[in-house]
Structure 1
Amino acid sequence: MQLPVFDVAVFLLITLGNVLFGASFFFRNKTAAQFTTGGGKLPAWVVGMSIFATFVSSISFLALPGKAYSSNWNALVFSFAIPIASILAVKFFVPLYRSMNSVSAYNFLEIRFGAWARIYASLCYILTQLMRTGAILLLLALPLNAMFGWNIKTIIVVTGIAVTLYSMLGGIQAVIWTDAIQGIILIAGALLCAGLLTFSMPEGPTQVFEIAAASNKFSLGSFGASLSESTFWVVLIYSLFINLQNFGIDQNFVQRYMTTSSTKKARFSTLFGSLLYLPVSLVFFYIGTALYAYYSAQPHLLPAELSTTGAGDKIFPFFIVNALPTGITGLLIAAIFAAGMSTVSTSVNSTATIFLSDYYKRYINHNPSEKSSMRVLHIASVIFGILGVLISLTLVGVESVLDAWWSLASIFSGGMLGLFLLAFMSKKVRNIDAAIGVVLGVVVISWMSLSPLYFTEENLLKFKSPLHSNLTIVLGTLVIFLVGFLVQKLFANQKNK
């Protein structure tokens, strides 16, 4: 698939402009606080757009329409829990972190349970972000390889260097401002695609809804009580837990709470960014459904290799390249690619911040100068960027390894959320109670995440988790919380006897 030269030029110019714009913030980063929080002076609406862009990665831009095209709107249920989680965030989490005046999301865990909790959570976060960076770089390279014919490993290396460069130079200000611009372009691109699809139907716009309704494309999934299927309830509960994790313990979000000048503005940016995702995700799902109707009414427009059941994720890129006007195609591809770059830059910046606050200042130099802090942030950014590229290169062509990486990521993140909720919701739980809860919780999460990969033979199926994978974080978090709470109660009762 070859794009017109003009589209290629648009893509390259916007991508290069994005990198140079991010790097230009180098001149505004004279202190570590400016690098990690923008000095607490960023506009609330820009931070809100950045939070929105954190939800909408380039992968979501392609994957959500693919889901709607292949099945129905069951995955849209994920968005329904975001308002609940965001309201809890602005009421409890935002003021909690701002009151501690710490850029690290894991300082709170040390205050409650000691240094081990902070090290455990921050190390899990860093490992998760490295996996995420490697996977995103690979997933960005694959469509560019298909559209331009460029070498996958070359794309990964060049993209990794470019993102690391502007992350290192521009700090959080570069990340947030580029996020905001990319978010606006993504929304505009999504609305444009939705409009073109709707008004390109042979029998008019209503044909989209007629074809979609006849194929049950608007279904939100089963409302049954099954825990092994992706029902409405399973997705809703999963969404609530994963978004509590985002708002409560994810450094990407917590760091943004500190970038505005007041708690009121931080609350606004959190609500604005999270609630904006709900209508935009609806547009994404509508695009997938409209694509189904568009190609159902005109099947001759779709190549035979994309007419198979498993081709859902490839339909929207095919439409972008073949159906959009010249120039718009290049713009949209650049926007999707830039959103992926912003996801990687967020990971690079946040991991460098955690290394400075949770390791360098805690164990190497307790009172570093601004020059030393900036040097550590720059070096850490480069190291994490390089590690992300190396991980991505090892994943090229090895899908099973990618599955294993994401399974391990769920193990790390599930343990972090359970520990945070235990610290936040119970003031009596002690250090040892939390440690026992985390150990048992991680065992449960490991079993649920890894058993489907390894217990595949008939005689081992009885050891395989019968629950849907979305419930991994739910069950693991509940085990950590309940075990920690009950152990504390048990020791308290024995002490009183």
Structure 2
Amino acid sequence: MEIVSKLHLIDWVVLTVTLLFIVGYGTYVTRKNSNVSDYIKGGNDTKWWTIGLSVMATQASAITFLSTPGQAFHSGMGFVQFYFGLPIAMIIICVVFIPIYHRLKVYTAYEFLEGRFDLKTRSLAAILFLIQRGLAAGITIFAPAIILSAVLGWDLLTLNIIIGFLVIVYTVSGGTKAVNVTQKQQMVIIFMGMLIAFFMIMSQLPENITFVKALEIAGASNKMEVLDFSFDVNNRYTIWTGIFGGTFLMLSYFGTDQSQVQRYLSGKSIKESQLGLIFNGLLKVPMQFFILIIGVMVFVFYQFNPSPLNFNPSANLEIANSKYAKEYQQLQESHEEVETTKKALLLDGFQPHEKQQIQYLNEHDLFLKEKSKEIIDRIDAENTLIKVESNDKDYVFIHFILNNLPRGLIGLLLAVILSAAMSSTASELNALASTTAIDLYKRNVSNRSEIHYVKASKWFTLLWGVIAISVACIANLFENLIELVNIIGSIFYGNVLGIFLLAFFIKYVKGNAVFIAALITQVIIVYIFLQDVLPYLWLNLLGCTLVMAIAVLLQLLIPSKKKVH
């Protein structure tokens, strides 16, 4: 199947006009920044709804709209539990973090740490942020680029540069205000695109398959199991990992990650910032639930329509040109037989007693898919020049878009994916530049004019943009992309959150103890991750607990400087 031909002139027009409008509008309305406050804090005049949408857009990268439907297609609705800790985290941040940040009038979250502890602790927290967010910025560019490259036949390197360049243009020009302004437009495009995608999926199901009937079909295939109360530590997504691990991840991300802190530091007042985060907390879980439902409906759609054994077109191309082509073709034919049998059952009027037969067919189909992945992995092992990815979760939704949506809407959905990539990347570059400029550069190069620091911030934005593009160009697909970003965050976030909680609540712990504890904790967490001892979400809780416990213990052991006599 030639997917490139799916892009018609109208799709190109919709895609190009949408992206140029966002870049042009963001650059024009925020082109004047006379001081650091305007550039980094957006002039402190941002309204709560802008903050809420900007916070949401920062988190909702292209990975969200590419990977989440694929996650639901393969594994069902359980992934939504990952977000159960978010509303809890929003309340804690509104009550504790925001008032402190606003009272101290900080530009970055890490400024606070120097006053509470010392310069080295502030610098360490800033550097940990720069490492993990710098990697994540590359992934948010790379994720849509590699998938669009595979399905459209576009050059991967060119796509990385185009996405990165578009973001750099308006982020360098307008700073935080440009990011906030453009993210409002991007979220409107994203919401509109996802609603259209949902209704288009439903319209293409057989006439007798209503939404309720579609949910029943998905339920028969175990796709509607939202809550998992098991205590299996090896299960990544349960209600417990969501509430405990998720709360600590969200506290770290929204409370200490400059890419998010910068969004609400630009608020007109404490109340505006708090309302913006509450708005995000109330809307985020339903939004993720809806995106997962779209993935489930794509699954139902493919119960009545042919689907490939593997959705990654580049993998299929490599197989077709390999010695395993015949073996793979036999698996494909078996897969088509399963599809035909299932379709007859479902069209004939799905009955509850047929659930066991449907589950058996699903298990057999899953067996065939695993066998096909083994073939792809064999090809990957034999091919040292090209990475052949067997995990196709990230390709499911884009495959549906390109093969089943009408002209014009394909361009709009591609604009959604690229808008999401641009919005999250812009926030990351903006935050990386602010942290570098304020926590590292200005702290060591003082007594310069406001214009000097604005120019320095712009140069740092450009520098981090180039670094992000470079990371994207050398990156490689790893499992499911939405998991990869959260895995990277979980390795660092718990440690940084623990530093902030020590600063807020345990006043007798001083800088030396915290600094040493943070270094020890980071080594331990990296080791535990590499040994695959715990699911990644628990690393947030463990990192936070470890750094606090070690710091308290060290503080008790460090001799006091006070004279006894």
> Do both share a fold (TM > 0.5)?
yes
Change (3 A) 1:428 1:128: same
Question: Take 2:488 and 2:196, find their aligned partners in 1: how far apart are those partners?
Answer: 38
Report the more deviating stretch, 161-170 or 19-28: 19-28
TM-aligned CA deviation for residue 172 of structure 1: 0.9
Is 2:460 aligned against 1:380?
yes
Equivalent position of 1:223 in the other structure = 229
The aligned counterpart of 2:406 is: 325
Q: Which aligned pairs between 1:99-248 and structure 2 lie closer than 5 A?
A: 99-202=103-206, 203-205=208-210, 206-220=212-226, 222-230=228-236, 231-248=238-255
Out of 472, 478, 486, the residue aligned to residue 553 of structure 2 is 486
Letter in 1 for 2:272: K
Query: Is the alpha carbon distance of 1:409 and 1:436 closer, same or farther for their aligned partners in structure 2, counting shifts above 3 Å?
Result: same
The CA deviation at 1:155 is: 1.2
Range with bigger deviation, 103-112 or 435-444: 435-444
- CA gap of 1:398–1:146, structure 2 versus 1, over 3 A, is closer
| Residue 457 of structure 1: aligned partner | none
Is contact 2:133-2:428 (8 Å) kept?
Answer: yes
Shift of residue 254, structure 1, vs aligned partner: 1.5
SS at match of 1:95: helix
Instruction: Give SS of 2:31's match.
Output: helix
Report the structure number with the largest CA radius of gyration: 2
Alignment of 1:249 with 2:249, yes or no, is: no
Map 1:262-341 onto structure 2 (within 5 A). Answer: 262-296=269-303, 298-300=304-306, 302-306=307-311, 308=369, 310-341=391-422
1:347 equivalent in alignment to 2:414: no
Structure 1 equivalent of residue 98 of structure 2: 94
Residue 153 of structure 1 and its aligned partner are, at CA, apart by 0.5
- Matches of 1:427 and 1:492 in 2, distance apart? 17
Quick one: distance in 2 between partners of 1:445 and 1:496?
38
Q: Deviations over 1:452-491 (max 9, x none)?
A: 4xxxxxxxxxxxx2x2222112212111112222333456
Amino acid at match of 1:435: F
Question: What is the match of residue 47 of structure 1?
Answer: 51
Q: Is 1:446 matched up with 2:526?
A: yes
Does residue 1:359 correspond to 2:440, yes or no? yes
SS in 2 for 1:305: coil
Superposition map of 1:452-463 within 5 A:
452=532
**What TM-score results when the alignment is normalised by the length of structure 2?**
0.80
Deviation at 1:328, TM superposition (A): 1.6
Secondary structure, counterpart of 1:27 in structure 2:
coil
Instruction: Report the count of equivalent residues.
Output: 479
Amino acid at match of 1:303: P
Kept in 2: contact 1:124–1:412 (CA 8 A): yes
The Cα RMSD (Å) is 2.5
Corresponding residue to 1:391 among 459, 462, 471: 471
Specify the alignment match of 2:497 in structure 1.
417
Stretches of structure 1 lacking an aligned partner (at least 5 in a row): 453-464
CA–CA distance in structure 2, aligned partners of residues 36 and 349 of structure 1: 8
Structure 2: distance between partners of 1:417 and 1:247 = 10
Q: Match for 1:145: what amino acid?
A: S
Gaps of 5+ in 2: 312-334, 336-368, 371-390
Deviation, structure 1 residue 433: 2.4
The residue identity in structure 2 corresponding to 1:283 is: F
What amino acid maps onto 2:393 in structure 1? G
Name the % identity. 29
Q: Is the 8 A contact 2:66 2:397 kept in 1?
A: yes
| C-alpha deviation, 1:271, in angstroms | 0.9
Distance 1:398 1:62, change over 3 A: closer
Matched, 1:437 2:517: yes
In structure 2, distance between residues paired with 1:424 and 1:32: 27
Shift in Å, 1:407 = 6.2
1:104 alignment partner, SS class: coil
Q: Matched residues in 1 for 2:562 and 2:106: separation?
A: 36
The whole-number CA distance in structure 2 between the counterparts of 1:162 and 1:393 is: 16
- Offset, 1:237: 1.8
